[in-house]
Chain A
């Protein structure tokens, strides 16, 4: 794009000695602009580098001291309590990793099923009068702050679920009290939080499928719905996958809402008592552990290190997921361009 028009200095020649001040300033700004703008861009990039380097650097102590126990053992809550007074505590983040994984996968399942229906509706089925309002609704859903999701979940979803806990849970599940604020509550709340992000990407992907694919299907006499499921969805699959990956990235980082509705006890849910109890087990995720403990605990060196261990794992996961989504999209873009001779 830059070659299309006149470069700085191309049309402005050296000023004659008698030139007035404003023109001299104008001339200087012409030469200053580019380096200044470049500095802004480099500064933005440098900030990224500093954040990433800082988090990984301060996560080193915990991983060099107790790498294996940190990711493979299960003592978090008591370790945090002890760390305020004891000099040496072994932290185990396994329940937090389990909490993050289970809530994320559950929410992904719900939001992909619901979101796919929504995306098909928006991209293909919706009458014009409904498409605009629904797009606005989804945009609004994306804008609702997570603490509001937490508040509504806590006062609506949690009481609803506490009525569904099996009556004999107190006698059967002896390790932990089962209540409404649970894995299931976390999944329900989280799925509606990540849904708009999946739907937005999914709608774009469905619309990016070349019209000729659809027209070809329709010309063969295949009905509208089968054209969607057999031609458009497979063609849009890479974009849908990228949307799901971005939704996962969003889900693993959610802290406040999950700390409010998911039970906030570091516990590895287990199905050994029976599957009907499983959804009602409390969990605590990595992100909510950071926000719950980080307020005051950061001044204790042991807790500081342990929380940075969690932050580094979250950061690594989000970097990997972002890069994966990016690679999927660029690969898909190249393939579509090969198929149709035009770029995405």
Chain B
């Protein structure tokens, strides 16, 4: 490599370069703080107990009233449901990919490649897929039936949204879990094998407990993705603000709630923003503040778990 002797302009660049890197970092940090600060400043005045415990009022005349109780419940439902669907399959797949997979086998190669490309697919595409796929008559059990006399399902419900969300987050969760399992030192497994412990028992009793923090990080990451997504929810949860049944908390209504439509914090913000039908920015900011707090909490939990893991090693 040819490097010319330092001239006048090079001496100038000696501090201009680093200075611009510092400025770039400062700009990014400032924008991030501005976004969070702006949300908190605008949302703070509207988030009170009443806002958190009343239901949205989507009628145009009342669009400045109402709160986010149903959206909070909706986000919780959707996140828990999709985590429930994702967790066992993701863990199983991650264990297989990390511990059993024969790298030379074409099927496992294809699975790995498929998961990698699936992670890059935009969530609108999943939303489209979901509402079209689950509108087929055979999936009527997952939502309500569609138009009178036709052989189609409505295709929008908590069950549908959670299923689509699970597909969307699956590759990310598998990837984090697989890395967690792979990062367990080989000596743990060798020690188990030396004691005559079989492979599956060693995985269950030694490898998985050691990888637990990383697995938990994967779960939290999936929750964050599910809580923050709008496109899938807007397309597959129906775009209504309230739930299909009024007494959604009643245990005997669980099937109706799962098969019914609803809203989450993200669709509430979209609906209430000036771009949506509700046009009540102050409500949107209130919802955004709740959502941001949720995301920050999940982020912090993942970071803390990661730090605890580093310290135990």
Instruction: Give chain A's interface residues, CB within 8 Å of chain B.
Output: 1-2, 4-12, 26, 29-30, 33-34, 36-45, 47-49, 51, 54-55, 58, 113-118, 120-122, 125-126, 130, 134, 136-141, 143-152, 154-156, 192, 195, 199, 220, 222-226, 228-231, 246, 249-250, 252-256, 259-260, 264, 287, 290-291, 294-296, 298-299, 304, 307-308, 311, 314-315, 318-319, 321-323, 326
Contacts and interface: CB of A to CB of B under 8 A. Distances in A.
B151 interface: no
A148 B89 contact: no
B248 interface: no
A311 B235 CA distance: 13
Contacts of B167: 47, 51
B73 interface: no
Nearest to B186: A4
B115 A48 contact: yes
B231 A145 contact: no
24 contacts: A6-B199, A8-B200, A11-B197, A11-B198, A40-B88, A41-B108, A43-B89, A54-B129, A115-B28, A117-B25, A125-B22, A130-B25, A145-B291, A146-B229, A152-B35, A152-B39, A228-B17, A294-B128, A295-B235, A295-B239, A299-B147, A307-B128, A311-B125, A311-B128
Given A147-B230, A150-B275, A314-B122, A223 B14 contact: yes
Contact of B273 (A134, A260, A322): A260
Contacts of B129: 51, 54-55, 311
Nearest to B199: A8
Contact of B102 (A2, A4, A117, A145): A2
A interface secondary structure, majority: helix
Contact of B3 (A115, A220, A228, A323): A220
B296 interface: yes
Interface string B112-155: 01111111111111111101110100000000001100000001
Given A246-B120, A314-B125, 8 more contacts: A9-B198, A40-B89, A51-B126, A121-B24, A225-B18, A254-B122, A287-B124, A299-B147
Nearest to A290: B124
- Looking at chain B, what size class is its interface with the partner chain? 35 or more
Contacts of A145: 227-230, 266, 291, 295
Nearest to B281: A155
B61 interface: no
Contacts of A226: 3, 10, 13-14
A318 B125 CA distance: 10
A319 B295 contact: no
B100 A322 contact: no
Contact of B125 (A122, A149, A228, A315): A315
B interface secondary structure, majority: helix
A48 to B, nearest CB: 4
Contacts of A8: 198-200
Interface in B255-289: 266, 269-270, 273-275, 281, 284-285, 288
A158 to B, nearest CB: 9
A138 B24 CA distance: 12
Contact of A231 (B1, B32, B269): B1
Given A2-B102, A44-B115, A45-B110, A141 B122 contact: no
B97 A118 contact: no
A121 B125 CA distance: 36
Given A2-B99, A114-B28, A151 B273 contact: yes
Contacts of B32: 137-138, 140-141, 144
Interface string B70-111: 000000000000000000111111011101111000011011
A225 B3 contact: no
A308 B132 contact: yes
B96 A315 contact: no
B254 interface: no
Contact of A314 (B23, B124, B135): B124
Given A220-B3, A230-B1, A249 B120 contact: yes
B20 interface: yes
A162 B21 CA distance: 30
B251 interface: no
Contacts of B91: 40
Nearest to A231: B1
A253 B150 CA distance: 33
A30 B115 contact: no
A233 B59 CA distance: 56
Nearest to A223: B14
Contacts of B239: 295-296
A319 B193 contact: no
A113 B99 CA distance: 41
B107 A42 contact: yes
A283 to B, nearest CB: 15
A134 B198 contact: no
A73 B288 CA distance: 39
A144 B20 CA distance: 26
> What are the 8 tightest A-B residue pairs by CB atom distance, in nearest-first order?
A253-B122, A117-B24, A40-B92, A5-B193, A145-B228, A45-B111, A48-B114, A322-B120
Given A30-B198, A256-B234, A259-B275, A151 B269 contact: yes
Contact of A148 (B33, B39, B299): B39
B85 to A, nearest CB: 11
Nearest to A40: B92
Contacts of A229: 17
A7 B291 contact: no
Contact of B93 (A44, A55, A138): A44
A326 B3 CA distance: 33
Contacts of B8: none
A11 B23 CA distance: 62
